Amino acid sequence: MNHKNIINNCFILALLFSSISAQAYFSSILPQNSGFSSARSMSMGMTGVASSIGLENVWTNPALLKTDGKKLSFYATGSLRRYEEKRAFPVMDMFDDVVTNNVYAANRYWYNNLEGGMILKLRKDNYIGLSKSTFWDLTYDYAEEVRGSLPSGTYNRDPVRGYHEINRGGQITAYSISMNHTVFSKIKLGYTANILIGEKMTDRYAINVFEADEALASDSSYAFASDIKLEGSTLVPTFGIAYQVNRRYQIGLTYQKDVDLSFSDVWTIPTINERTQLPGFYHPSSWDSTGQFTISLPAKMSIGVEAKMKNPLKTKAVFELHYRDWSKYKLSTASTLDTSLTQFETNFSFKEAWEIHGGIEHYFKEQIPFRFGFIFSESPLGQEFERIQITLGSAYVWGNATFDFGVIFGSLAYRYEDIFPAVVSETINLESVNESNTSVKFSIQYDF
């Protein structure tokens, strides 16, 4: 049962789900679920910069596109991710110490996605790849049931007074074409052109009032909804190079160019939360028109090493470093019909961030591998948002078909403020934020 009690100052614990790289509440400010990955890539710590592992090389390192001698390979990857959100406010004793965190909102959602493409072998050892994948997932759903507090002697002392809701959906999809070229016997070059297109992007912010109550964020009901538009289509190139040191070691490097993305018809405009200095939003109740903003994402650079071990059974280990200078991130808001939202640029003061990816693939039998990986991610938001994720997976080969399975786990804790403050209360303390995530992927590869 969810409570928002004015006596307890209506503090919120914002427990948000994040899939790979960003908190879901910030999903329209920082990319999440970014980039194509198959079940094999995910189960080995989201690697692929130095490994030739199939269609995901279109995204990770196009220089390593390969079909293991097959003329044509088709790929399909389905994913299912579990989104869990809990919110609670701190309960204080007479000495202003936190006694417990009172959970008043619990959200659990499942989301699916489908990606895929093909790789065609050209002359000699050169290949071309085509793929459709998610570049940026904007999904975030939040529903908060608000209950009132009535005096003792009343039959129902906590009736439902209304709901607070946020719904964002859709994604920016990358339609990619990739080619590689063998310069020398040990050096390969690759290039990918990613064309970004917005698909089914929505923005909804609503307060449903059944009966006015001090715990609600408004005295009356209202809802703002729109279909977000990504202005035009955007080209993002990725460059890759791979060097085969010897039969056991391979090195890969990639560079993905920076990109500007312009969104229009948006109700919730990004800004800085003054109390936490973290990303936040202008909520639309104070104006009557949608807005637009442009985000400049910095370039991404990666380097990786693949090592084939001298084991009786086939074993492979990979290690990668990924880097983005998030201090170059920019967000500018354009003028709207409402004079309170004039044109300005928001300085988020993000920090540069490194990611460490590692994975091991060990074959117990010729056709059944065990895969294990990890990801350590710094965050542009600061140390509080650093995280470690664990990945697992396996595969089975049946004729010309290969079936892969992968799963990734992660969690995070930080502090934020009430995103739906009650109309008559003042939030004094920040709330704790705890998030968890599980994502499962299944991939099928068929070779001709």
Q: Give the span between the Cα atoms of 114 and 60, in whole angstroms.
A: 18
For the sheet with 291-297, list strands across it. Answer: 229-230, 259-266, 291-297, 330-333, 344-346
- Whole-number pLDDT of residue 249: 96
Q: How confident is the model at residue 226 (pLDDT cuts 50, 70, 90)?
A: very high
Which residue ranges make up each domain of the chain? 6-447
Q: What mean pLDDT is reported for the chain?
A: 85
Q: How confident is the model at residue 338 (pLDDT cuts 50, 70, 90)?
A: low
pLDDT per position as a tens digit, 135-165: 999 999 999 888 876 655 555 557 888 999 9
Q: Give the span between the Cα atoms of 105 and 14, in whole angstroms.
A: 9
CATH code reported for the domain at 6-447:
2.40.160.60
Please state the rounded mean pLDDT for residues 162-184. 93
- Whole-number pLDDT of residue 35: 66
- Whole-number pLDDT of residue 447: 93
The helix (H) or strand (E) run that includes residue 41 is helix 39-43
Neighbouring residues of 266: CB distance < 8 A, sequence distance ≥ 6: 28, 203, 226, 228, 290, 291, 292, 293
Q: How confident is the model at residue 341 (pLDDT cuts 50, 70, 90)?
A: low
Contact of 357 with 375, CB cutoff 8 Å: yes
Which is more confidently placed, 414 or 130? 130
Kindly tell me if the per-residue pLDDT of 287 is higher than 50: yes
Q: Is 246 helix (H, G, I), strand (E, B) or coil?
A: coil
Task: Name the one residue in this structure whose structure tokens are 């070691």.
Answer: 249
Q: What is the pTM of this model?
A: 0.87
Kindly tell me if the per-residue pLDDT of 7 is higher than 60: no
Contact of 299 with 239, CB cutoff 8 Å: no
- Whole-number pLDDT of residue 132: 94
**Phi, psi values for residue 216, rounded to 5°:** -80, 160
Q: How confident is the model at residue 18 (pLDDT cuts 50, 70, 90)?
A: very low
- Whole-number pLDDT of residue 68: 80
- Whole-number pLDDT of residue 355: 95
pLDDT per position as a tens digit, 394-423: 999 898 999 999 999 877 777 888 888 887
Contact of 60 with 48, CB cutoff 8 Å: yes
Q: Cα dihedral sign for 376, 314, 70, 184?
A: positive
Beta-bridged to residue 92, according to DSSP, are 98
For residue 151 the two structure tokens come to: 């005096």
Q: How confident is the model at residue 371 (pLDDT cuts 50, 70, 90)?
A: very high
Q: How confident is the model at residue 9 (pLDDT cuts 50, 70, 90)?
A: very low
Q: How confident is the model at residue 319 (pLDDT cuts 50, 70, 90)?
A: very high
Kindly tell me if the per-residue pLDDT of 62 is higher than 90: yes
For the ranges 29-38, 168-177, 241-250, 330-339, which has the lowest average pLDDT?
A: 330-339
Which is more confidently placed, 21 or 378? 378
Q: How confident is the model at residue 392 (pLDDT cuts 50, 70, 90)?
A: very high
Q: Cα dihedral sign for 82, 87, 93, 97?
A: positive
Kindly tell me if the per-residue pLDDT of 255 is higher than 80: yes
Q: How confident is the model at residue 282 (pLDDT cuts 50, 70, 90)?
A: confident
CB atoms within 10 A of CB 369: 24
Q: Give the span between the Cα atoms of 47 and 44, in whole angstroms.
A: 6
- Whole-number pLDDT of residue 14: 27
Which is more confidently placed, 88 or 215? 215
Q: How confident is the model at residue 352 (pLDDT cuts 50, 70, 90)?
A: very high
- Whole-number pLDDT of residue 212: 87
